[in-house]
Amino acid sequence: MEVDEPSWLTLNRRAGETLRAALEQTLRDAIRSGALREGVRLPSSRVLAQSLSVSRGVVRDAYGQLEGQGFLVTRPRAAPVVAAVPRPPTPRPESEPAAPVPRYDLIPTTPDVTLFPLNRWLATAQQVARRASVTTLDYGDNRGERTLRAALADHLGRTRGVIAEPDQIIVVQGTAQAVDLLLRVLLRRGASRVAVEDPSHTTNHQRVREFGLDLVGQPVDAHGMVVAGLDADAVLVTPAHQFPTGSVLSGERRRQLLAWSRASGGLIVEDDYDAEFRYDRAPARALQGLAPRQVVQLGTVSKTLAPALRLGWIVAPLELVDELERAKLLVDIFSPTLDQLTLAEFLSRGHYDRHVRRARTVYRRRRDRLLTALARQLPDLPTEGVAAGMHLLLALPPGVSDTAITEEAQRAGIAVTPLSAFQLAPSAAAALVIGYGRLHESAIESATDALAKVIRTHL
Ligand SMILES: Cc1ncc(COP(=O)(O)O)c(C=O)c1O
């Protein structure tokens, strides 16, 4: 394999120095500095000679010298490769040692990515790319590919009762970017207070604070977020499946929330992150479908397909779309086109629905088995939020520290999150948030046994 010359390399030749010595010194400095790293292939003597306007013999001689000094490794008829050279270590800021891979991963935010229909995705991506015109590779629509926005409008209307024209949809890199763009728009509109559910997803707390906005925590109970006392410019809610308690926003609370928005002009941001996974409870329509002018709906494929795709969407009232589009333009211009077209095809051909159905069956079986195992091992501890999603709450008796349990669980090879990690205000309610997305069915009993052993020592 022929590689190009390092185009930044210039020969600094001191008075009286030969060309060979100058080249040798230049290459040695580049290797010592770490610019040419161990294992990097250098160009052939012909290519380097041409680019530096020296004779090939000069390069060959320099390479030979450097090999003799242990800086290069050469093989017959192959370009030299940079050898391992001891270099002073780059000082790094103190960082925590990486946590060992847990034996049981009960983290609530992660789906089972081994379920991802990789072959179907790759085949679809290939068909889409072959069919696409060459302009597809150019800069695309800031709001996202129209084909995807149209497919999403159909899909979200059918599955979630969302009411949206394709022009109200902005394709983004997951819910993370959706929240980021919305916060930018809110800030430009003069917002100062953003409310979130307490408890809720902690990265959203950080995002709100990062923008210098006041973060307001709104309590959550068995009926979802408490609306009374809400005082903010916008509120971020998870109505279909509160994260992390798993409660559903009741009909009464929905009415209260919409009334709050009408009266105050506050924006409701609906994070519809895992509504596809519902097992044994009545379906809850997206709030957006009840009040499309007051609610922004955020969706993602991170739970249904895979977080690595970084594909999500914002369904916004038309008056916000231009500002959101501008924010998207400034942040990263637009989302990767071929991935968007692949998702559009996945949706319109029914691959997405088929996959969600399959994944739902898998998660439901895991949930059932986990509930049986928990009831057997810890019969006195109630579970909550079990009717949907891929995590549940295991309530702990008052006075028990959920963080002490999770720290000990970690030492026992179990990654599990305390409810308190998601709380803004100190609360007496202690619980473990147990994700079963990643917990293979065959490991559920042994994981529960191991976790129960840790918990019992704290009861
Ligand atoms: C409440 C909530 N919303 C959304 C997401 C998905 O985020 P993203 O789409 O950025 O991957 C998660 C993932 O953990 C989540 O917990």
- What pLDDT is attached to residue 376? 98
175, 331, 393, 433: residue to mutate for ligand 1 pocket, most atoms within 8 A of CB: 175
In ligand 1, which atom is closest to the CA atom of 177? Answer: 10
- What pLDDT is attached to residue 382? 97
- What pLDDT is attached to residue 93? 72
CA end-to-end span of the chain: 65
pTM listed for this prediction: 0.92
In ligand 1, which atom is closest to the CA atom of 174? Answer: 9
For residue 234, the surrounding DSSP H or E stretch is strand 234-237
How high does pLDDT run on average in the chain?
A: 95
Q: Give the sign of the dihedral formed by CA 66, CA 70, CA 75, CA 78.
A: negative
Which amino acid does the sequence have at 43?
P
299 ligand 1 Cβ < 6 A: no
The DSSP secondary structure of 298-363, one letter per residue, reads: EEESTTTT-GGG--EEEE--HHHHHHHHHHHHHHHSS--HHHHHHHHHHHHTTHHHHHHHHHHHHH
Which amino acid does the sequence have at 107?
I
Q: Which positions ≥6 away from 105 have C-beta within 8 Å?
A: 415, 435, 438, 439
Q: Which positions ≥6 away from 136 have C-beta within 8 Å?
A: 129, 337, 338, 341
302 ligand 1 Cβ < 6 A: yes
CA of 227 from ligand 1 middle (Å) equals 23
Nearest CA to ligand 1 atom 16: 109
307 ligand 1 Cβ < 6 A: yes
Q: What is the pLDDT of residues 110-153, one digit of tens each?
A: 899 999 999 999 999 999 999 999 999 999 999 999 999 999 99
CA of 109 from ligand 1 middle (Å) equals 7
271 ligand 1 Cβ < 6 A: yes
Considering only CA atoms, which of 51, 430, 393 is closest in space to residue 247?
A: 393
**Helix extents (H) in 34-113:** 45-52, 56-68
CA of 203 from ligand 1 middle (Å) equals 9
CA of 202 from ligand 1 middle (Å) equals 10
For residue 450, the Cα-to-chain-centroid distance in whole angstroms is 29
- What pLDDT is attached to residue 5? 74
Both structure tokens of 312? 């999500």
CA of 306 from ligand 1 middle (Å) equals 11
Residue 12 half-sphere exposure toward CB, CA atoms < 13 A: 8
**CA-CA distance, 380 to 151, in Å (whole number)?**
47
Q: How many CB atoms lie within 10 A of CB 94?
A: 4
**CA-CA distance, 254 to 287, in Å (whole number)?**
8
300 ligand 1 Cβ < 6 A: yes
Q: What is the pLDDT of residues 434-459, one digit of tens each?
A: 999 999 999 999 999 999 999 999 99
pLDDT at 389 over 70: yes
Q: Among 270-279, 287-296, 307-316, whose mean pLDDT is lowest?
A: 270-279
197 near 205, Cβ under 8 Å? no
Both structure tokens of 385? 């939020």
110 ligand 1 Cβ < 6 A: no
Q: What is the pLDDT of residues 173-187, one digit of tens each?
A: 999 999 999 999 999
CA of 40 from ligand 1 middle (Å) equals 39
* Average pLDDT of the residues in 48-70: 94
CA of 274 from ligand 1 middle (Å) equals 8
Nearest CA to ligand 1 atom 13: 109
Q: How many CB atoms lie within 10 A of CB 332?
A: 13
391 ligand 1 Cβ < 6 A: no
201 ligand 1 Cβ < 6 A: yes
- What pLDDT is attached to residue 282? 83
15 near 21, Cβ under 8 Å? no
175 ligand 1 Cβ < 6 A: yes
In ligand 1, which atom is closest to the CA atom of 301? Answer: 9
3-class secondary-structure state, position 435: strand
32 near 72, Cβ under 8 Å? no
**CA-CA distance, 30 to 71, in Å (whole number)?**
11
340 ligand 1 Cβ < 6 A: no
170, 177, 201: residue to mutate for ligand 1 pocket, most atoms within 8 A of CB: 201
Confidence category of residue 49, pLDDT binned at 50, 70, 90: very high
* Average pLDDT of the residues in 377-393: 96
254 near 238, Cβ under 8 Å? no
450 near 413, Cβ under 8 Å? yes
Q: Give the sign of the dihedral formed by CA 354, CA 357, CA 360, CA 365.
A: negative
Q: What is the pLDDT of residues 205-216, one digit of tens each?
A: 999 999 999 999
422 ligand 1 Cβ < 6 A: no
- What pLDDT is attached to residue 1? 66
